[in-house]
C-alpha cells in the first residue's frame, strides 16, 4: 500500500512540474522556417482615465458673465469601452450665504449634459462648454455665497 501511495505521489509531482511546451523548434528534421506570434496582453492592464475639473470657481459680485467650469478627459480604455461624464448643479443651483444661511442666491448651469468619450483622449474638453452664471445680483445681500457642482463619471466596459 505504501508503495502505491508513493508511486501516485511521484506521478502527481511529475505532472505538477511539467512545463507546457511554448517553444517551437527548428531542427534538421523540420521545416527550416517557423513563425512566432507577437501579441499584446491586457490581462493585467486596467482602463486608465482622469477627468480634471476646477476645484473652485469664484464669481465677482455683480458679474453676470458666464464662467467656464469645463472638465477635460484623458483616457486610455480597452476597445469599445466608454466614459460618460456629466455635471450637475447641486440643490438646483441655489447658493447659501456664508454669514446668513437664510439668504440665497441662484446660479445657472449651462452645458453639463452627459457626454460620451471613446477610448483615447488627451485633455479633451466636452463638445458643449460647461458654464455657470448668476443673472441677477440686485435682490441679494452681498456676501460670500457657496454652491456645489458635482462631476460624475461612468465607465462602461465593452
Partner 1 sequence: MKKILALVMAIVMMMAIAVPAFAGEISNTAPDAGESLVKTDTSAVGAGSYTVTYPAEIVIPWDAPTYDATYTVDTQLAVGKKINVSVADKTTGTLTGTMTATGTTDTLEYTLSGAVATEYDEVSNATETITFTVADWEKTIAEYSNYITFTVVLGDK
Q: What is the contact surface with partner 1 in residues (CB under 8 A)? A: 46-62, 69, 90, 95, 97, 99-100, 103, 105, 107, 132, 134, 137-155
> Are the C-beta atoms of 130 and 119 separated by less than 8 Å?
no
Closest separation in Å from C-beta 117 to partner 1: 12
For partner 1, the closer of residues 103 and 124 by Cβ is 103
For partner 1, the closer of residues 111 and 145 by Cβ is 145
**Cβ neighbours of residue 46 under 8 Å, at least 6 residues apart?**
none
> Are the C-beta atoms of 96 and 146 separated by less than 8 Å?
yes
For partner 1, the closer of residues 44 and 58 by Cβ is 58
Closest separation in Å from C-beta 141 to partner 1: 4
Query: Where does residue 109 fall: left (phi above 0), alpha (psi -120 to 50 degrees), or beta otherwise?
Result: beta
Q: What cell was used for 3?
A: 508503495
Closest separation in Å from C-beta 120 to partner 1: 14
Amino acid at each position: 500500500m505504501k508503495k502505491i501511495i508513493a508511486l501516485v505521489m511521484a506521478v502527481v509531482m511529475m505532472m505538477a512540474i511539467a512545463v507546457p511546451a511554448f517553444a517551437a523548434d527548428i531542427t534538421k528534421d523540420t521545416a527550416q522556417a517557423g513563425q512566432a506570434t507577437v501579441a499584446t496582453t491586457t490581462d493585467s492592464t486596467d482602463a486608465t482615465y482622469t477627468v480634471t475639473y476646477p476645484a473652485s470657481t469664484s464669481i465677482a459680485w455683480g458679474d453676470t458673465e458666464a464662467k467656464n467650469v469645463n472638465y477635460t478627459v484623458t483616457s486610455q480604455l480597452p476597445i469599445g469601452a466608454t466614459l460618460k461624464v456629466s455635471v450637475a448643479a447641486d440643490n438646483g443651483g441655489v447658493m447659501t450665504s456664508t454669514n446668513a444661511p437664510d439668504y440665497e442666491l441662484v446660479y445657472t448651469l449651462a452645458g453639463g449634459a452627459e457626454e460620451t468619450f471613446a477610448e483615447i483622449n488627451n485633455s479633451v474638453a466636452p463638445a458643449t462648454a460647461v458654464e455657470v452664471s448668476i443673472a441677477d445680483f440686485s435682490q441679494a445681500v452681498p456676501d460670500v455665497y457657496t454652491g456645489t457642482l458635482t462631476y460624475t463619471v461612468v465607465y462602461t466596459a465593452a
